[in-house]
Chain A
Amino acid sequence: MTVVGLDLRYILRETPLGYFLVTGAGLAMLLLCLGLTLGALRGGRLRRARAGEPAGRFSWAAELVTVAAALLVPALIVASVQIARGQVHAALGATDPSQKVTFIARGVAGQLNALALGGQVLVLLLPLAGAALGLLLARRAQLGGLRRATALAASRGEEALEVRAWRAHPGPGVGHLLPLTLGAGVLGAGLCTGVLTWCTDLIRSFSAVAGVDPADKARLLVLGMDEARPALERIPPVLGVAALALAVVALFVLDAPARARRRIAPELAPGLSWTATLVGAGACLAAAAICALLALPYRAENHDPLPVKLDGGHVLAPEPGIELPPLEGPDRLERAPVLTVRSQEVSIEGQQLDRPARLAEQLEVLRHNWKLINPGRDFPGELLLLADHRVRFARLAPWLRAARGAGYAGLALGFMQSQTLERPLLGRIVASRESAARLDLGGATPGAEPHRFSGAPPAGSGPLLLEPPPELGYDRLARVVVQARRARRAVTLLLP
């Protein structure tokens, strides 16, 4: 089943409390219809009170049910979003990288789905709640006015001006209150429409990158977020102005019955007592202060977006037991077969190797597979090296020689640096930045300046030929390659 271009069944499955959200929406809709019916029924009692029957009092139950119904869905949305956010936080404790990514992705999708699903429901529910509440409160206010007229009539007689004034204008009626509460409901629905548009765009971009190469994923997601953002950023100015206009209208409309009463009986006190004014204003200001305080950490998080590098996605998974050189290479890290070299163990794509000839065999297989998947394209012949900074060149050389023999003449030295960020809401985040420094494996290059690591690397801008001694540490070799690549020099590593 598709709603606003989204598969509803899929969304329900992927949304925490998804089924509760839908059931809650149905229940809220029924309760709001009940509120509207009770509001309409109050009209009969009001007419009888106008005709002279004792006014009596309305129970607050109808208002309470209406408010509870209006709050049920937002409460379920918040619960669902909090569960999804909890999944993202919990994912940080996961040790398996692929499991971690799955948890985070599910947490992010859960948030978007909860907001999209809840947003769709609230677009309908909020105006309905506004209408029901307006109807109920208008009839309550008018019955209260008629009660007051009866009380005044007991002491001053039916013909007193105050009594006539209260009978003629007992309080804000449906025509006064309903447009205001309905307007407030429509403002809420407007906020939900903006959120819904934004969420729908994000869900689309989120699902569109599902099968994309991880290196491009981040860039596409950031593009999607930047394109969706205006729908969200339009909300505060548009709704702020609309709310201000509604408040100005409310000021004149709500006070209209009191002004009309004073035209009949000028000595009448204003419709609102100071006690009611101060209690109402105090409650509203307290609610405003609570909302503002709750919003502060979210605002702080939003005003300082997390840094996302546009030129790199996630290619590397953290490798246990390996310390890469603490360097940042100038080249982009591309997906390629990963050769991992530790002091005790060597592996290709996670598969442990016992001798260099096995590496050559595995690389042959990988090349064959690549050609099957990419017919008609030139084989890149590049290998990604993740080596512990403590290993020596003598340990690397036989494996690199085997790789070159298997047709892999390009080598990218992979680096990953972690940076800890303290966030107002998200807490401590470890951001990893991937980079590479690219070189060629091979023989002598014509015109290249040789560097034997006995002194400083030669200055210049031309190609550089590295002839490392066997005892040279990988960290020093990598540092020279990074320096040369930063100077945009082509680097060739001469293998003994």
Chain B
Amino acid sequence: MLRPLIVITSALAAGLALGWLAYHYVAVTEQYMRWLMV
């Protein structure tokens, strides 16, 4: 159980980090919209 736990936890970390990157990459578009108005 330990070895699958290590692999799956790492895979989860990779998935969450990828999602986190995608979220912030997309969300920064709003800053560009605000930039249009400053």
Contacts and interface: CB of A to CB of B under 8 A. Distances in A.
A292 B20 contact: yes
A250 B1 CA distance: 12
A82 B24 CA distance: 14
B34 A308 contact: yes
A243 B14 CA distance: 11
A294 B23 CA distance: 12
Contacts of A277: 3, 6-7
Interface in B1-38: 1, 3-38
Contacts of A295: 17, 20-21, 24-25
Given A236-B19, A291-B17, A308-B37, A425 B26 contact: no
Contacts of B37: 217-218, 221-222, 308, 313-314
Contact of B33 (A108, A243, A276, A281): A108
Contacts of A299: 20, 24
A288 B3 contact: no
Contacts of A222: 34, 37
B20 to A, nearest CB: 5
A235 B38 contact: no
Which DSSP category, helix, strand, loop or mixed, fits chain B's interface?
Answer: helix
B28 A284 contact: no
- Interface size class on chain A is 35 or more
B35 to A, nearest CB: 6
Interface string A265-302: 00000111010110011111101111110110011011
B10 to A, nearest CB: 4
A429 interface: yes
29 contacts: A81-B25, A81-B29, A88-B36, A107-B32, A191-B23, A221-B33, A221-B36, A232-B23, A236-B20, A247-B11, A251-B8, A271-B3, A280-B10, A283-B10, A285-B13, A285-B14, A288-B14, A289-B17, A292-B17, A295-B25, A298-B24, A299-B24, A302-B24, A302-B28, A305-B34, A308-B37, A313-B37, A421-B38, A426-B35
Given A243-B15, A287-B17, A299-B20, 4 more contacts: A232-B27, A247-B9, A271-B3, A314-B37
Interface of B: 1, 3-38
Interface of A: 78, 81, 85, 88, 101, 104-105, 107-108, 111-112, 115, 184, 187, 191, 195, 198-199, 202, 206, 217-218, 221-222, 225, 229, 232, 235-236, 239-240, 243-244, 247, 250-251, 254-255, 258, 270-272, 274, 276-277, 280-285, 287-292, 294-295, 298-299, 301-302, 305-308, 313-314, 421, 423, 425-426, 429, 431-432
